[in-house]
Structure 1
Amino acid sequence: MKKVPEKLQGYTNYKSIKTELKRLVYDSIIVADFELGWQAFIVKYDLTTNDWLTTLFDERRRWVPCYLKSQFWAGMSTTQRSEGLNAFFDGFINSGTTLQQFVVQYDNALRQKAEKEFEADFASSNTTAACGSQSLIERQFQLEYSHAKFAEVQNEFRGKINCFVKRVFQDGCLVKYTVKEEWLWEGKKSHRMHDVVLDTMPTNIQCSCMLFEFRGIMCRHNLLTLGQEDIECVPEKYVLRRWSKNVRRRHSLIIAGYNRSNDDPRMQRYKMLCKRFYDLAEVACDSDASSRMLCNELNSIAKGLGVPTKSNPFMLSQHGDIEDNDGQHAGVTNSSIVRSPVHVKRKGRPRTNRLQSTVEKLSKKKKTSAAKNKSQRSSQEPMDVNVPLDSQCTQLTDEASIGPYIPNNGFMSLLTCMEAEIVNSQVATTRLI
């Protein structure tokens, strides 16, 4: 969607096309609405010959929200990885940063990120974000979620003001609500209808917007429905542990160069326990019986400490492979063949045909001509014929015995010694002849 100005700005009705395309992409709740609206959009603005829009429609299952709402994405987008990486190094590196400076600045960037994370954790654990209403459900999220995620939940609570219950249909334990949501779009009032299905017995709730399935946050339509049914507490499955302010960050216990609290007793104990576990695992992995015994003992200890465990999550097969509880191999079997990826031609100019500047071409020609002249002079210098053969051999022997400067170590030292031995053998053969 960021490429819309670049690809469609040349059209006369660009503003109308942009507005209609955004409304179609972000306001389509079900797949049928998007596909019908897309066809009408193409015909209305005569965009059948636009190859970019044709490609987008062919790949609609990879980017249109109504196709992806049934999958959990935690609020991430496709461009967030590159954008987050660029923002991560903002203020630390630039195009002139050397490799040595990059290593130092990388540690500084990690240190700053860790410090901000610790500050946010401290604020979530030691301060309280005020509730905007008297709802017990909002207070439940206030006690569980971090400040950043609770702010997103509060935004949904504020959005309840624009939602109204239109119809209610009840069939036993199932209650179906039709919720109308109103908002302003370019100064004009607009609305959208959402269907909320509530099962009162196990308290299961699902909305057609699928915000919880998509981002992990209860939507305003669900919150309105729960309030209509006088439900004061959300089931535990709708309060995700990943947003909890009491979650334990395992990476914070690892000693790293950017961590200033390496002398923390908690980190030292963690390091000592990990070393002990590695020693036990190294001995226990030699036999199946000792591995099972160690797993049982660890499960007992974990149960005593309140850590959730599974009974025998992995078992060893007769061949030594790891199997899960269903008897399926968890790892890669020996029969599977891992092949190299298919070679893909790179975009742009090949590396060997790099464009060269005029100065670089002239300097290269000068070096080539100088090398040729040097080789010609060395080949044209014959041995002095006026000097007797015996004196020439004596001269060669003296040069071989003295020899050039030989380094004490390395490949060049070995090469120089071998050259001296070859010269000595040639001189000895000449004298014998």
Structure 2
Amino acid sequence: MEVVDENEQLIIEGNREHVVVSHVTNDSHLSDPNANESQEPYIGMEFESQENAYSFYAHYAKVIGFGISIKTSRRSKVSREFIDVKYACTRYGKKRESNAINPRPCLKVECEAYLRIKRKSDGKWVVHDFIKHHNHELFPAHARYFPCHRRINKAQQSYIENMQNVGVRTTKIYATMAKQHGGYENIGCLEKDVRNHLDKSRRLSLESGDANAMLECFMAMQEENPRFFYAIDLDDENRVKNVFWVDAKGREDYQEFGDVISFDTTYITNKYKMPFAPFIGVNNHFQSRLLGCALLADETSNTFIWLMKTWLRAMGGNPPNAIITDQDRAMKVAIREVFPNTRHRFCLWHILRKVPEKLSHVLRNNEDFKKHFNSCIYRSWSKKQFDDKWQEMVEKFQLLEDQWLQSLYEEREYWVPVYMKDTFFGGMSTTQRSESINSFFDKYVCKKTTLKEFVEKYKVALHDREEAEMQADFNTWHKQPILKTPSPFEKQMSLIYTHEVFKKFQIEVLGLSGCRLMKENKDNHLTTFEILDFQNNEEFVVEWEASKKEISCLCRLFEFNGYLCRHSLMALLTVGVFAIPSQYILKRWSKDVRSKHHKRKTDEDVCSSKERFDRLHEKSIEFIDEASLSHESYNFACHTLGEALKHCATINQSLKVDKENVGKNNLGDTSLLDPRSSKTKGAPSRRIKSGIEKGRKRHKKES
């Protein structure tokens, strides 16, 4: 369901997120909670909105003693608005079998109680079906334990945060709330809801003075290279909340490789239990490049919005063409606001890894389900073909009512490959680029690493990545790849592509032997080919327009990966074109993509302290060689060096005073305050997983 009101609250009910409307409606039966509390819905009953209908049924369910959840919903194909929704008892449906060693208890007892509403042409909603009777006992006194009846209002949120800020433990906070409300049953939430709320609003827990130590480290890095960028998000008391930085190399890389970005927050790197959020690109060697990173206090929409706006400013205001993230709602909201024209893709791996868990009962009873499911995803070459295959699959395996599959289908434009084929993703379909960076940092940091240590070790890690890139550059320019066929395309691209990209293209060249031209049709300037691919056992349609030298294939490999497929190569050979047209050779995959950045730097170009040192060292060797040739040149050199040393010291002292004055003016003679310490629960594992990846699982142990 979509969030339509800022007062709505997302909860987890079973395997799907639902909307809980927390505002009070204008309906008379809800304005007074004591008035006609047990009023039942009836067929034909009207509501001003879907939210009012939900509020009414939720109120009725709480009074009677059961929980509700959304079972099915349907949108209009024209307006895309919801027009049909079915709310059901949480014990609705059959119990799923599980092979788990310690399976979780299941609520399902095949209860048939539900309420179905439909939207009328005037915008109002009417009760279409209603089944009142339950096949299980109802417990009004236990209704508060159902997730749909639990919420923390704004007043409670403020009270909880204030109590936590002065050091009161969660158990004590909850007990005090019970006294204020006249009993635990009147609070409206459980103790674990209070813990979850505090987790979401946690702040960075730093040691005394660590914030300023980190700031000094950033300032030193900026002194080394003025293009180093950092930003620190502060609260009203000048306490640190979130931190972002990117080095000069990352900003330079973005200009060439910022078209596709992977963004992930599933890693933890330091003892403060702060998610590490890297922005990852892929260079012309198919290596991961760090294009900025952050340490975050939480994973809310507001935090992600701040981070992405800051990152965009650091990158010159040019948004990426495409971005890959996990299936996180807060992240989705932030990307839609900050990058409205960027193609957003959910990590396919994160989605598919949940299939064995969500559809275990189907996989256990149907050996061919996986084959049908994979065919939908990987062998659908048009949106219509995917829709047809999906519909056939859910009907064949009786999954029309499955909530998880239905939610996947509703968001198919964010993860199904065929919906992405018109967008260049550099061959990436998952956030594993981010995860490879995360595992790379494991060599340099551990749970006891402080923030300042992390930033400094980050520099070491970065130098290692740059060394790997330089090695790949060396191999590309000095080692010629081995050709495996006499194909003119293979020879052409071996001189242009880097080794790693060429290897991928070479697979397509080798695949030519497994293709056969089945049909050729020429219509005016357009020639259409039907090519049978024996490896995929499918026919692909390729179109060639000779006047424009434009070619396109149904598989869309070029659009997605950036190099031509075997089917297109077959068509080019058929029409007598033996060189790939220039528009199908992306510069980002070429050897010389960085050639303009590799020019020898002049004295005016030198900016970092290391570059200045190397340049002076080079000149000093020449100076020493020349000055040592005679006694006269030696005396002159010593005198000149002495005067130059005094002059340099005077300049540096003057610059130091200027910087101190600027710092005082900017900070108002105050330093940054460390964030408020937050009490976290238990010791985290080496890697913290984000929302969709771990189902919001929380540690039970409280510190």
Aligned residue pairs total 268
For 1:205, what is the secondary structure of its paired residue? Answer: strand
Whether the 8 Å CA contact 2:377–2:417 is kept in 1: the answer is yes
RMSD of aligned residue pairs (Cα, Å) = 2.9
- The aligned counterpart of 1:388 is none
Cα 1:246/1:32, change in 2 over 3 Å: same
Greater helix proportion:
1
Whether the 8 Å CA contact 1:92–1:109 is kept in 2: the answer is yes
**Which of 53, 66, 70 is the matching residue for 2:422?**
70
In structure 1, how many angstroms separate the alpha carbons of the residues matched to 2:547 and 2:430?
A: 38
Whether the 8 Å CA contact 2:489–2:509 is kept in 1: the answer is no
In structure 1, how many angstroms separate the alpha carbons of the residues matched to 2:433 and 2:510?
A: 30
- Structure 1 residue 15: deviation in Å? 4.1
Q: Does 1:57 align with 2:409?
A: yes
Alignment of structure 1 residues 292-311 onto 2, 5 Å: none
What is the one-letter code of the residue matched to 1:207? C
What is the one-letter code of the residue matched to 2:354? K
Q: Does 1:3 align with 2:354?
A: yes
Cα 1:103/1:170, change in 2 over 3 Å: same
Cα 1:157/1:356, change in 2 over 3 Å: closer
Whether the 8 Å CA contact 1:8–1:14 is kept in 2: the answer is no
- Structure 1 residue 78: deviation in Å? 4.3
- Structure 1 residue 50: deviation in Å? 1.7
For 1:224, what is the secondary structure of its paired residue? Answer: helix
For 1:197, what is the secondary structure of its paired residue? Answer: strand
In structure 1, how many angstroms separate the alpha carbons of the residues matched to 2:392 and 2:490?
A: 42
In structure 2, how many angstroms separate the alpha carbons of the residues matched to 1:99 and 1:150?
A: 40
Cα 1:210/1:349, change in 2 over 3 Å: closer
What is the one-letter code of the residue matched to 1:236? S
- Structure 1 residue 154: deviation in Å? 0.1
- Structure 1 residue 234: deviation in Å? 1.4
Give the TM-score of the pair, scaled to structure 2.
Answer: 0.36
In structure 2, how many angstroms separate the alpha carbons of the residues matched to 1:8 and 1:235?
A: 46
- The aligned counterpart of 1:192 is 538
- The aligned counterpart of 1:16 is 368
Alignment of structure 1 residues 246-285 onto 2, 5 Å: 246-248=592-594, 263=614
**Which of 491, 510, 515 is the matching residue for 1:163?**
515
**Which of 157, 172, 186 is the matching residue for 2:524?**
172
- Structure 1 residue 7: deviation in Å? 1.6
In structure 2, how many angstroms separate the alpha carbons of the residues matched to 1:356 and 1:83?
A: 28
- The aligned counterpart of 2:453 is 101
Alignment of structure 1 residues 81-100 onto 2, 5 Å: 82-100=434-452
For 1:227, what is the secondary structure of its paired residue? Answer: helix
In structure 2, how many angstroms separate the alpha carbons of the residues matched to 1:349 and 1:43?
A: 33
In structure 1, how many angstroms separate the alpha carbons of the residues matched to 2:496 and 2:696?
A: 52
Cα 1:95/1:5, change in 2 over 3 Å: farther
Cα 1:39/1:98, change in 2 over 3 Å: same
1:77-113 deviations in Å (ceiling 9; x for gaps): 2423532431331322222323343223211110110
**Which of 575, 585, 590 is the matching residue for 1:244?**
590
In structure 2, how many angstroms separate the alpha carbons of the residues matched to 1:5 and 1:349?
A: 18
Q: Does 1:112 align with 2:464?
A: yes
For 1:34, what is the secondary structure of its paired residue? Answer: helix
What is the one-letter code of the residue matched to 1:208? L
- The aligned counterpart of 1:321 is none
Highest CA radius of gyration, 1 or 2?
1
Whether the 8 Å CA contact 1:255–1:262 is kept in 2: the answer is no
- Structure 1 residue 23: deviation in Å? 1.6
- The aligned counterpart of 2:75 is none
- The aligned counterpart of 1:122 is 474
In structure 2, how many angstroms separate the alpha carbons of the residues matched to 1:260 and 1:5?
A: 53
What is the one-letter code of the residue matched to 2:360? Q
In structure 2, how many angstroms separate the alpha carbons of the residues matched to 1:79 and 1:55?
A: 21
Whether the 8 Å CA contact 1:137–1:232 is kept in 2: the answer is yes
Q: Does 1:204 align with 2:550?
A: yes
- Runs of 5+ consecutive residues of structure 1 not aligned to the other structure: 184-189, 269-346, 358-433
What is the one-letter code of the residue matched to 1:181? D
1:255-303 deviations in Å (ceiling 9; x for gaps): 668x7896259x99xxxxxxxxxxxxxxxxxxxxxxxxxxxxxxxxxxx
Cα 1:216/1:40, change in 2 over 3 Å: same
For 1:263, what is the secondary structure of its paired residue? Answer: helix
In structure 1, how many angstroms separate the alpha carbons of the residues matched to 2:570 and 2:491?
A: 15
In structure 2, how many angstroms separate the alpha carbons of the residues matched to 1:38 and 1:125?
A: 47
For 2:528, what is the secondary structure of its paired residue? Answer: strand
Whether the 8 Å CA contact 1:30–1:66 is kept in 2: the answer is yes
For 1:145, what is the secondary structure of its paired residue? Answer: coil
For 1:72, what is the secondary structure of its paired residue? Answer: coil
- The aligned counterpart of 2:563 is 217
Q: Could you tell me the percent identity over the aligned residues?
A: 34
- Structure 1 residue 59: deviation in Å? 0.4
**Which of 544, 564, 579 is the matching residue for 1:233?**
579
Whether the 8 Å CA contact 1:146–1:245 is kept in 2: the answer is yes
Higher relative contact order (CA 8 A, sep 6+): 2
1:122-166 deviations in Å (ceiling 9; x for gaps): 110111101111122211111111001111110111111211110
1:19-48 deviations in Å (ceiling 9; x for gaps): 221121000001111101101100111112
Cα 1:255/1:42, change in 2 over 3 Å: farther
In structure 2, how many angstroms separate the alpha carbons of the residues matched to 1:75 and 1:113?
A: 21
In structure 1, how many angstroms separate the alpha carbons of the residues matched to 2:473 and 2:366?
A: 46
Cα 1:162/1:349, change in 2 over 3 Å: closer
